Amino acid sequence: MKRKVQFVQGNYYHVFNRGANRENIFREDENYLFLLKRLGKLSCEFNISIIAYCLMPNHCHFLLRQNSEKSIIDFMQRTFNSYTKAFNRKYRRSGTLFEGPFKAIHVDEESYLVYLCR
């Protein structure tokens, strides 16, 4: 299924996802730290700026800026796939962790950008 949002260099995006069946995607502090480390490493590789984030037990939000032609799509897929594999291995589970592919909204108004950073 094709995404409605087109990811373009120099633009900002509100990216979010939640756990399958609204279950927790973070069970302990170590889970949050693992995801943040992966985001930091991969953001350098993909030249993505992480402007703001909010991690909650069953979902997460990110305000991202795409700084090059390397897509937020590939960045988020790598991030969520590696997180899911590590989470499943740690808790001896299998299958999907997230509800589906991440969702994204193009941030094209300054008021929305400010709102996301609050």
Question: What's the confidence (pLDDT) of residue 3?
Answer: 66
Mean pLDDT of 1-26: 92
Taking alpha carbons only, the member of 89, 74, 15, 10 closest to residue 42 is 74
Q: What is the pTM of this model?
A: 0.93
| Distance separating alpha carbons of residues 62 and 114, to the nearest angstrom | 13
Three-state SS annotation for 69-118: CCCHHHHHHHHHHHHHHHHHHHCCCCCCCECCCCEEEEECCHHHHHHHHC
| Domains detected in the chain | 12-117 (3.30.70.1290)
CA distance 36 to 60: 11
The rounded distance, in Å, linking the Cα atoms of 32 and 91 is: 15
Q: What does the pLDDT read at residue 2? A: 56
Q: What is the mean pLDDT of residues 7-30?
A: 97
